[in-house]
Amino acid sequence: MSSLIRLELRKALANRWFFISLGLALALALASAFISAEAALSWAALKDGGSQEYLVMTTQGSYGNSLFVGEDVAKEAFFLLAPLLALTPYAWSLRSEVVSGFLAHMYTRCPRSRYLAAKATATFTTGFLVAAIPLMVNFIALSCLLPAYQPEVYDNLYLGVNPEDAFARLFYEAPFCYLLVNALVDGILYGTWALCVLAVSTLVDNRVLLLAGSYLFVIATHAFSKVIFPALGVTGFRFSLIDLPQGVGDIDRDPRALVAVLLIQLLFGTLLLRAREGSDAL
């Protein structure tokens, strides 16, 4: 089993699409860092370093400008494209191997369940890394440009991290742990999403349709979440893969919704792969 996992990880991480996806995600994360840092430094210069009035220091530091909390066009592009970038490296690989005949060859050399488990592990890993690495690189870049001001709960109006949001207490008490936990959770969120699409690839023949349809599903879910709660006249919660990974948003990031989405994606991907284990490999 370990040899199969190593084989799949080598195939996944040496894949050019993994480097393209990770490179694009890193470019957006670094662009966000530079845009946020420039805005923070310009604000400080405009206010003469806070000599005349309170500068709201939380919003001028690296924690308050990270991808989870900050507001800029590169950040919006990052979370808009992240659900697609997490799929591009390897979520299509199972269907590709069916078309090429490689899957039938592997099924004669090892148990189907083990091979599918190894492929699922590699797919999850690529989705995880494409999300988690840029999130931490963004903060590292910001830390080279801005001071690491401790977030103040009194600045919540400017930050948007509400007490009801997931991990909000960590943000104000241990902000670096907040970044680590969010990077881990977002990585798992996108990793399980990639696993779901890998499982759906057993039902969809066209690889382009697989990726495009999956991303359109995310866009439709995002649009639905923006409409359904106002229509019902309730506050609601985030559940789309565009809003849910972000630390701040228009509505609360309910930790129960976050756990529910993670479990649904994990169970859906795992159970569908198990159900399709005995399907024709040709």
Q: Are 167 and 259 in contact (CB under 8 A)?
A: no
Question: CA-CA distance, 134 to 148, in Å (whole number)?
Answer: 19
What number is the average pLDDT over the span 195-200? 92
Question: What Rg do the C-alpha atoms of the chain give, in angstroms?
Answer: 21
- Residue found by looking up tokens 């559940």 in the block: 239
What number of H helices and E strands is found in the chain? 11, 0
User: Which are the contacts of 144, defined by CB distance < 8 A and separation ≥ 6?
Assistant: none
User: Six-digit token pair at 82?
Assistant: 């992240």
- pLDDT tens across 64-90, in order? 888 888 888 999 999 999 999 999 998
In this prediction, residue 282 carries a pLDDT of 47
Q: What is the pTM of this model?
A: 0.88
Q: What are the CA-CA distances from residue 117 to residues 15, 130, 210, 260 (Å)?
A: 19, 20, 20, 23
- pLDDT tens across 42-71, in order? 766 765 655 555 556 777 788 888 888 888
